[in-house]
Amino acid sequence: MSKTIVVPIDGSECALEALDFAAELVRSEDDKIILLTVVGHKKVPKELQHYLEVEHVKGPPDWEYDQLIASGILDEGKQRLQEHNIHQFETLVERGEPAELIATAANQQAADMIVIGSRGLGNISGLVFGSVSGKVNHLAGCKVITVN
């Protein structure tokens, strides 16, 4: 049976190590990896929102900036997959609260599992899990493999 694996990446080495592990799980041509990165959502003040609407600017002002960051992170992931000779992948960018959006995206993609790094960019020493990986373990409706 084919499987779909969501791998959330944030630009950290630990996330790329999770991706290495996910790559090892790919067995057939029908298996698929979905590289997902969630970019920060900064709230826009009401006045600015109104101005943007009048000027017909779609989305918050830092959208383009976030898109740039996302494509940098995803490119790194793609490169890593190419090293594993894996070409059956998709990329996804979400904007907002990372853990919730990772769990929701996995649901929407009917993923069989999420393979996530235990730690990320925050990396406060002494903690085993980061806040995102911990929360995803609670929220996800599918299997979660945490790689450290």
Ligand X SMILES: Nc1ncnc2c1ncn2[C@@H]1O[C@H](COP(=O)(O)OP(=O)(O)O)[C@@H](O)[C@H]1O
Q: Which residues pair with 36 in a beta bridge?
A: 8, 92
- Residue 95 contact among Mg ion, ligand X, none, beta carbon within 5 to 8 Å by kind: none
Q: Which is nearer to ligand X, 57 or 127 (CB)?
A: 127
CB atoms within 10 A of CB 107: 14
Q: Is the dihedral of CA 148, 95, 79, 141 positive or negative?
A: positive
Q: Please, what is the minimum distance in Å from the beta carbon of residue 131 to ligand X?
A: 5
- Residue 133 contact among Mg ion, ligand X, none, beta carbon within 5 to 8 Å by kind: ligand X
Q: Which of 122, 127, 128, 143 binds Mg ion (CB under 5 A)?
A: 122
For residue 137, give the H/E element and its range. helix 131-139
Q: What is the DSSP letter of 30?
A: T
Q: Which is nearer to Mg ion, 92 or 99 (CB)?
A: 99
Where along the sequence are the contacts to Mg ion (CB under 5 A)? 120-122
